[in-house]
Amino acid sequence: MNKDSLLYFAPDEEILPVMSLREVVMFPKAIIPLFVGRKQSVKAIEAALNDFDKRIFLVTQKNPEVEEPSLDDIYEVGCVARVLQMFKLPDGTRKVLFEGIYRAKIDKQSFSKEEFYKSRVFSFPDSDYDEKKAETFIRLVQEALEEFSKLNPKMAKESLLTLANIKDPSFLADGILPHLSNVKFQEKQQVLEIADPLVRLEKVYGYLMGEIEIIALEQKIKERVKKQMEQNQREYYLSEQLKAIHKEMGRDVDPKAELDKLETRVKEKNMPEEAKERAFEEIKKLRITPTNSAEYTVSYNYIDWILSLPWNEIKEINIDLKEAAKILDNDHYGLEKPKERILEYLAVQNLVDKIRGPILCLVGPPGVGKTSLAKSVARAMKREFVRLSLGGVRDEAEIRGHRRTYVGALPGKIIQSLKKVKYNNPVFCLDEVDKMSTDFRGDPSAALLEVLDPEQNYAFNDHYLDLDYDLSNVFFITTANSLHTIPLPLQDRMEIIKLPGYLETEKKKIAKYFLLPKQLKMHGLDKKQIKFSDGAIEKVIREYTREAGVRNLEREIASICRKVAKKIVEDKIEQVQITKVNLSSYLGVPKVRHSEKEEEPLVGVTNGLAWTEMGGEILLVEVTIMPGTGKLEITGKLGEVMQESAKAAFSYVRSRSEVFGLKPDFYKEIDVHIHVPEGATPKDGPSAGITLATSLVSALLNIPVRNDLAMTGEITLRGRVLPIGGLREKLLAAKRSAIEKVIIPLDNVRDLDEVPEEILKGLKLIKVKHMDEVLPEALLGVNKDSIFCGQHNHISLTQKLLKAEFRSSAQQ
pLDDT at position 690 is: 92
Topology of domain 131-218, CATH: Methane Monooxygenase Hydroxylase; Chain G, domain 1 (1.20.58)
Any known ligand binding at 444? no
Reported as a pLDDT band with limits 50, 70 and 90, residue 249 is low
Is 367 strand, coil or helix? coil
Between 679 and 271, the higher pLDDT residue? 271
**Is residue 743 scored above 90 in pLDDT?**
yes
The DSSP code for 796 is P
Any known ligand binding at 781? no
The DSSP H or E segment spanning 721 is strand 721-722
Give the lowest-confidence range in 281-285, 305-309, 614-618: 614-618
What's the average model confidence in pLDDT over 223-237? 77
| Beta pairing partners, 116 | none
**Phi (first) and psi of residue 18, to 5 degrees:** -115, 130
State the DSSP string of 292-357: TSHHHHHHHHHHHHHHHS-SS--------HHHHHHHHHHH-SS-HHHHHHHHHHHHHHHHSS----
Any known ligand binding at 370? yes
Reported as a pLDDT band with limits 50, 70 and 90, residue 768 is very high
pTM value is 0.60
**Phi (first) and psi of residue 38, to 5 degrees:** -70, 140
**Is residue 811 scored above 50 in pLDDT?**
no
Domain 3-123 sits in CATH 1.10.3980.10: no
**Is residue 793 scored above 50 in pLDDT?**
no
- 680-690 pLDDT tens trace: 678 788 888 99
Domain 321-498 sits in CATH 3.40.50.300: yes
The DSSP H or E segment spanning 193 is none
Any known ligand binding at 367? yes
Q: Would you list the domain boundaries of the chain? A: 3-123, 131-218, 255-308, 321-498, 514-587, 602-804
pLDDT at position 679 is: 66
Reported as a pLDDT band with limits 50, 70 and 90, residue 72 is confident
Any known ligand binding at 365? yes
CA–CA separation, 604 vs 796, rounded Å?
12
What's the average model confidence in pLDDT over 334-339? 80
CA–CA separation, 100 vs 34, rounded Å?
13
Any known ligand binding at 368? yes
Separation in Å, CA 672 to CA 229, 454, 627: 102, 57, 9
Please count the other Cβ atoms lying within 10 Å of the Cβ belonging to residue 753: 6
Domain 602-804 sits in CATH 2.60.120.650: no
**Class of CATH domain 514-587:** mainly alpha
- 342-362 pLDDT tens trace: 888 888 877 876 666 578 898
**Is residue 802 scored above 50 in pLDDT?**
no
What's the average model confidence in pLDDT over 406-430? 87
Reported as a pLDDT band with limits 50, 70 and 90, residue 759 is confident
Asked if 531 contacts 787 with a C-beta cutoff of 8 angstroms, the reply is no
- 643-678 pLDDT tens trace: 999 999 999 998 888 888 888 888 888 899 999 987
CA–CA separation, 250 vs 430, rounded Å?
47
299 is catalytic: no
CA–CA separation, 762 vs 749, rounded Å?
17
The alpha carbon torsion through 462, 464, 468, 474 (nearest 10 deg) reads -50
CB-based burial, 69-80: b 16+ in 10 Å, e otherwise? beeeebbebbbb
Reported as a pLDDT band with limits 50, 70 and 90, residue 253 is low
**Is residue 601 scored above 80 in pLDDT?**
yes
Asked if 616 contacts 729 with a C-beta cutoff of 8 angstroms, the reply is yes
- 535-565 pLDDT tens trace: 888 888 888 887 778 888 889 899 989 988 8
pLDDT at position 285 is: 85
Reported as a pLDDT band with limits 50, 70 and 90, residue 251 is low
Any known ligand binding at 366? yes
CA–CA separation, 544 vs 538, rounded Å?
10
What's the average model confidence in pLDDT over 421-446? 82
584 is catalytic: no
pLDDT at position 186 is: 82
Out of 188, 539, 730, 735, pick the active-site residue: 730
pLDDT at position 711 is: 93
| Separation of first and last alpha carbons in the chain | 179
- Using CA of residue 776, residue 780, residue 786, residue 791, what is the dihedral sign? negative
Task: Tell me which amino acid residue 453 is.
Answer: D
Any known ligand binding at 681? no
pLDDT at position 720 is: 92
The DSSP code for 74 is B
- 504-547 pLDDT tens trace: 778 888 888 888 888 888 888 888 888 888 888 888 888 888 77
What's the average model confidence in pLDDT over 226-240? 75
Task: Tell me which amino acid residue 100 is.
Answer: G
Average per-residue pLDDT for the chain: 82
CA–CA separation, 754 vs 545, rounded Å?
24
pLDDT at position 807 is: 37
The beta strands (E) that lie in 320-447 are given as 360-363, 385-389, 427-431
The DSSP H or E segment spanning 14 is strand 13-21
pLDDT at position 4 is: 41
**Is residue 394 scored above 90 in pLDDT?**
no
Return the percentage of the chain with pLDDT > 70, whole number.
Answer: 90
Beta-carbon contacts of residue 429 (< 8 Å; ≥ 6 apart): 371, 374, 375, 385, 386, 387, 388, 477, 478, 479
Beta-carbon contacts of residue 499 (< 8 Å; ≥ 6 apart): 335, 338, 362, 363, 364, 365, 368, 369, 370, 373
**Is residue 595 scored above 70 in pLDDT?**
no
CA–CA separation, 48 vs 80, rounded Å?
11
Out of 41, 149, 687, 737, pick the active-site residue: 687
